[in-house]
Amino acid sequence: MHEQPPSGDARLLSCLAQMVQEGASDLFLTAGAPPTLKRQGVFTPIGSVALSAQDVREQAYSIMRPAQIEEFESRLECDLAFQTGQADRFRVNVHLQRGQVGMVVRYVSPKIPSLDALGLPPVLKQLAFLKGGLVLAVGAAGSGKSTTLASMLDYRNEHTTGHILTVEDPIEYLHTHKKSLVTQREVGLDTLSYDEALRHAMREAPNVIMIGEIRDRLTLQHALHYAESGHLCVSTLHANNANQAVQRILNFFPEDAHNQLLMDLSLNLKAVVAQRLIAGTRGKLVPAVEVMLLSHYVSDLIQKGQIEGLKTAIERSGEVGMCSFDQSIFALFERGEITQAEAVANADNKTDVTLRMRLAAGASLGVEGMQMARDDEDAPPAATH
């Protein structure tokens, strides 16, 4: 039986209500500064009164269960989920900074956004229906990895029967039973650890297993085991792009295990979806998405350990759905979703993206326009008096 969830300090609830009302993504509570909201990358303090260390501690402890307080005081870190009476849900990280309690709160939408609403590539719908294999969503903190996986699972839930099992720390999006049954287990609340939950997962007969995050070798071994045994396993990993994701996986293991690991990945790593959020022209963040699919060529590169070749393979692939970051960024620019400055600032190869823009501009001018532009460039400077 679960104990009664904590209700939260009134001061914190007021900040959370303002956070939701203003559409902010994050709330920061740290001693010596006012509560601060982050919206579209802009930080705005709530009022001008700085929080004391005691203020932050009281507000953090007001949303933590006794077991979470005990975990925090022994490990000095704690991740948890908190839900207000209005059903607004938040992901919370409590930590120490300079010996004092700090807290960062992220808003989790009560409704799982669709893949289309998020502006994600159509190929993700196909990935959601894979019979088996490993699919990774990668990116920096706050890039939308968890939301992408939740949207993929929800799409599958809406369109096919089966059993979806998630193991999360903490649970973020709440799934409902649609065509599929969904079992969600939270580390520390429903299970002692990722390892405990994943060791027993097969007995729960899932078709899909979602692991909140791969943080260590043991969790990755579980993920690969399920992928190899005919289950679709999806998870997140902190990496900037697809080739860095593969390299990070290798770094979990000693070098003498790499050959077998590369073979396993070459057979089972069905896709890596990497994303970045970029400031859009309509006042919202838009995702630039790199997609690496397990084509024969990509599989061969991974098996041979030629990880540095994956970036070029993605860029030059004719595989439908494969896309590099720069190709995605250029497409966003062409559709008018981001400015030229944002496109160049976020590109991996700024020179290449700039050249593509110039070529596209020349094509839109037509041959005559390009000739006029050349004539302007070749003309002598105007005389000055």
In a domain, 3, yes or no: no
The average pLDDT across 275-280 equals 96
Instruction: Examine the fold and report which residue of 108, 137, 158 is the final residue of a domain before the chain moves on.
Output: 108
Structural domain includes residue 219: yes
Q: Which domain holds residue 302?
A: 115-323
- Asked if residue 206 and residue 307 are part of one domain, the reply reads yes
Please tell me the predicted confidence (pLDDT) of residue 93.
96
Cβ proximity of 211 and 169 under 8 Å = no
Number of domains making up the chain: 2
Residue that finishes a domain, picked among 57, 80, 108: 108
pLDDT band with cut points at 50, 70 and 90 for residue 370? very low
pLDDT per residue over 109-156, tens digit each? Answer: 889 999 999 999 999 999 999 999 999 999 998 899 999 999 999 999
Same domain, 200 and 313: yes
Flag whether 248 is in a domain.
Answer: yes
Is residue 350 included in any domain, yes or no?
A: no
> Tens digit of pLDDT for each residue in 207-249?
999 999 999 999 999 999 999 999 999 999 999 999 999 999 9
The encoded tokens of residue 192 equal: 């002692």
Q: Considering the chain, what percentage of its residues have pLDDT values greater than 70?
A: 93
Q: What is the pLDDT of residue 301?
A: 98
Band the pLDDT of 369: cuts 50, 70, 90: very low
Q: What is the pLDDT of residue 383?
A: 47
CATH number of the CATH domain containing 183 = 3.40.50.300
Q: Is residue 359 part of a domain?
A: no
Is the pLDDT at 373 greater than 90? The verdict is no
Per-residue pLDDT at 2: 55
Q: Are residues 31 and 123 in the same domain?
A: no
Confidence at 171, pLDDT banded by 50, 70, 90: very high
255 and 270 in a single domain? The answer is: yes
Whether the predicted pLDDT of 294 surpasses 60: yes
If asked whether residues 202 and 80 sit together in one domain, one would say no
In a domain, 104, yes or no: yes
- The mean pLDDT value of the chain amounts to 92
Residue 192 belongs to some domain of the structure = yes
pLDDT single digits (tens) 296-335:
999 999 999 999 999 999 999 877 899 999 999 999 999 9
| Amino acid of residue 137 | A
| pLDDT confidence bin for 361, thresholds 50/70/90 | confident
Q: How confident is the model at residue 3 (pLDDT cuts 50, 70, 90)?
A: low
Per-residue pLDDT at 22 exceeds 90: yes
Over the stretch 51-95, which tens digit does the pLDDT of each residue have?
Answer: 999 999 999 999 999 999 999 999 999 999 999 876 789 999 999
Q: Which of 73, 108, 143 corresponds to the end of one domain? A: 108
Same domain? 89 vs 172: no
- Do 177 and 307 lie in one domain? The reply is yes
Let me know whether 78 and 194 are in one domain. Answer: no
**From the centroid of its chain, how far is CA 278?**
13
Check which CATH number belongs to the domain holding 67 and give it: 3.30.450.90
